[in-house]
């Protein structure tokens, strides 16, 4: 009887542990870089319905997450590949364990905000604290609209609303790209904290208003913390009971074309219509209300790229020479910080995309200099915390460059 009672208690505890674990796990998964040399290979890999970390399957090198059986199919199909992350679950579990075990003495505001990653409420609280600490130059706007799950989407401004020149940047469109949430916060922090001590920063903030939306996709970000670390889209319930629209395929510029999907289960699902999502609708309306802007940046990860329009066509914009000059300057400024190489190129040179924020900035919003900047590194969304500050530092250097260009031109 005692043995039965102990066994029953054990089974209850096991059942509870599974019930209490709401996380999506990635046992037996790895990330590989496949080199696809013909359309047959592209079609074969596409038929496996993999999570494509490099976003779009194209001829050439693509990063995909596979289980062991899918890797075996690729191997037996004579597709050349290399393993980037041999055990995805262990990488995610290490990060999750670390974040769950932090105590009060290890997290902001007791320690640096950039020592580690932070959940949504802490990110919002951080921006609000910056505004309270520097009220003469910074403003926290608690909500510019609501997400599909009714979360607020805040904004943050630095400088005077009467400034004749304005710069916009945003982060967090894709939920799993945690480093871009940290990097946008790092750049905002440098602008406000260095204002009183750095003559260059003071001149920039005195003459340029910076408008920032730190987390475009709050629901997706919350979901990466509480359930699926590798979730990309927002959290709309689609027909067929799949979830999510790729917000960076939902903007009203050549919506629904190449580089996006009409399948609701796809990671690049563009939604039912342009601006069908409350997140893109709210952010785009806010941008138009605050403009015009001289320059805009949409921060993402990974791949270390500075991408300029267009994504929807191979045609060059009339100001492409200037846009390339500034993009190359951002690249060089970034390299000067930690000798990390980013590539500056037109978006279509990477792959075709439609309905993206940066093309919308340049098109309907009439922002002459528009960029998507893909941050560190070259192989993972689960970037180690040790790379948060270096990534922030090098992109702060990039932001100083593009801000100075805007100021002088």
Residue 48's pLDDT is 94
CATH (domain of 232): 3.40.630.10
pLDDT at 16: 37
Q: Is residue 5 part of a domain?
A: no
**% of the chain at pLDDT higher than 90:** 89
How confident is the model over 121-141, as a mean pLDDT? 97
H or E element that contains 36: strand 29-36
- CB distance 177 to 248 below 8 Å: no
Which CATH number covers residue 66? Answer: 3.30.70.340
Name residues whose C-beta falls within 8 Å of residue 373's C-beta, 6 or more positions apart in sequence. Answer: 297, 298, 299, 300, 305, 306, 307, 330, 342, 395, 398
Number of structural domains the chain divides into: 2
Residues 197 and 124 placed together within one structural domain of the fold: yes
Q: Which of 94, 116, 134 is the last residue of a domain?
A: 94
Dist. CA 80–CA 90, nearest whole Å: 25
- How far apart CA 390 and CA 182 sit, in angstroms, is 11
Residues 197 and 269 in one domain: yes
Does 258 lie in the same domain as 210? yes
pLDDT surpasses 60 at 9: no
Residues 254 and 372 in one domain: yes
Q: What is the pLDDT of residue 102?
A: 81
β-strand partners of 62: 34
State whether 327 and 259 are in the same domain: yes
Give which of 208, 191, 217 is closest to 295, Cα–Cα. Answer: 208
CA–centroid distance for 202 within its chain? 28
What is the model's pLDDT at position 56?
84
In a domain, 22, yes or no: no
pLDDT tens digit sequence for 208-223? 999 999 999 999 999 9
Q: Is 20's pLDDT higher than 90? A: no
Give tens-digit pLDDT for 262-282: 999 999 999 999 999 999 999
- The arithmetic mean of pLDDT across residues 13-27, rounded, is 63
- Closest to 401 (Cα-Cα) out of 228, 186, 196, 167: 167
Are residue 259 and residue 138 in the same domain, yes or no?
A: yes
Is the N-terminal amide bond of 274 cis, ω within 30° of 0?
no
Contacts of 179 (CB under 8 A, 6+ apart): 301, 302, 375, 376, 383, 387, 388, 391
> Per-residue pLDDT for 3 more than 60?
no
- Count other C-beta atoms under 10 Å from residue 240's C-beta: 8
pTM listed for this prediction: 0.93
Average pLDDT score over the chain = 93
pLDDT level of residue 105 (50, 70, 90 thresholds): low
- Answer yes or no: are the C-beta atoms of 381 and 176 closer than 8 Å: yes
Measured distance CA(330)–CA(8) in Å, rounded:
62
Query: Which tokens go with 351?
Result: 């792959």
Establish if 8 belongs to a structural domain. Answer: no
Same domain for 245 and 186: yes
User: What confidence score (pLDDT) does residue 15 get?
Assistant: 39
The answer to whether position 192 is within a domain reads yes
pLDDT tens per residue, range 353-376: 999 999 999 999 999 999 999 999
Q: In the predicted model, is pLDDT for residue 403 greater than 90?
A: yes
pLDDT at 108: 72
Which of 379, 391, 401 lies closest to 295 in space, CA to CA? 401
Spatial distance between the Cα atoms of 298 and 306, rounded to a whole number of angstroms: 10
Lowest mean pLDDT among 79-88, 104-113, 164-173: 104-113
**How far is the C-alpha of 58 from the C-alpha of 46, rounded, in Å?**
10
For the record, the structure tokens of 405 come out as 């260009």
Are residues 117 and 169 both part of a single domain? yes
**Residue 106 and residue 99: Cα distance in Å, rounded?**
10
Same domain flag for 229 and 346:
yes
Q: Looking at the structure, do residues 142 and 181 belong to the same domain, yes or no?
A: yes
**SS3 at position 1:** coil
Count of other CB atoms within 10 angstroms of residue 287: 24
Tell me which of 39, 62, 94 is where a domain ends.
94
Q: CB 107: neighbour CB atoms within 10 A?
A: 16
Most distant CA pair in the chain, distance? 84
Average pLDDT over residues 124-150: 97
The answer on pLDDT for 106 being more than 70 is no
Which residues are known to be catalytic?
Answer: 374
Rounded (5°) CA angle 135-210-386? 90
One domain, residues 146 and 169: yes
Is 194 a member of any domain?
yes
Residue 147 within a domain: yes
Task: Note down the domain range covering 246.
Answer: 105-408
């Amino acid at each position: 009887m005692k043995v039965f009672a102990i066994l029953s208690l054990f089974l209850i505890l096991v059942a509870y542990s599974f019930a209490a674990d709401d996380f999506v796990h990635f046992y037996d998964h790895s990330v590989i870089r496949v080199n696809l040399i013909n359309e047959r290979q592209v079609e074969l890999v596409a038929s496996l319905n993999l999570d494509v970390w490099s976003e779009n399957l194209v001829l050439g090198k693509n990063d995909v997450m596979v289980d062991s059986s899918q890797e075996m199919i690729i191997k037996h199909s004579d597709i050349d590949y290399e393993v980037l992350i041999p055990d995805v679950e262990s990488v995610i579990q290490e990060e999750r364990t670390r974040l769950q075990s932090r105590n009060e003495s290890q997290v902001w505001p007791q320690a640096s905000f950039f020592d580690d990653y932070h959940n949504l409420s802490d990110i919002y609280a951080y921006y609000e604290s910056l505004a309270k600490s520097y009220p003469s130059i910074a403003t926290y706007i608690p909500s510019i609209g609501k997400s599909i799950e009714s979360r607020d989407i805040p904004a943050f401004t630095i400088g005077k609303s009467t400034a004749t020149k304005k710069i916009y940047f945003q982060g967090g469109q894709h939920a799993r790209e945690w480093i871009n949430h940290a990097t946008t916060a790092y750049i905002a922090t440098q602008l406000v904290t260095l204002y009183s001590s750095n003559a260059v920063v003071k001149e920039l903030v005195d003459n340029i208003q910076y408008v920032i939306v730190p987390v475009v996709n709050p629901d997706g970000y919350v979901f990466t913390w509480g359930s699926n670390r590798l979730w990309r889209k927002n959290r709309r319930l689609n027909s067929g009971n799949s979830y999510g629209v790729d917000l960076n395929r939902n903007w009203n510029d050549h919506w629904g074309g190449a580089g996006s999907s009409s399948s609701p289960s796809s990671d690049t699902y563009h939604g039912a219509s342009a601006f069908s999502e409350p997140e893109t609708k709210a952010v785009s309306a806010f941008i138009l209300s605050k403009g015009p802007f001289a320059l805009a940046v949409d921060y993402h990860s990974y791949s270390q790229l500075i991408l300029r329009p267009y994504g929807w066509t191979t045609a060059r914009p009339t100001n492409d020479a200037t846009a390339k000059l500034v993009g190359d300057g951002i690249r060089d400024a970034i390299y000067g910080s930690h000798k990390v190489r980013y590539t500056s190129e037109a978006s279509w040179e990477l792959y075709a995309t439609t309905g993206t924020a940066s093309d919308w900035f340049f098109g309907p919003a009439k922002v002459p200099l528009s960029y998507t900047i893909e941050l560190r590194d070259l192989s993972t969304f689960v970037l180690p915390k040790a790379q948060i500050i270096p990534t922030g530092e090098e992109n702060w250097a990039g932001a100083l460059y593009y801000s100075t260009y805007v100021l002088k031109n």
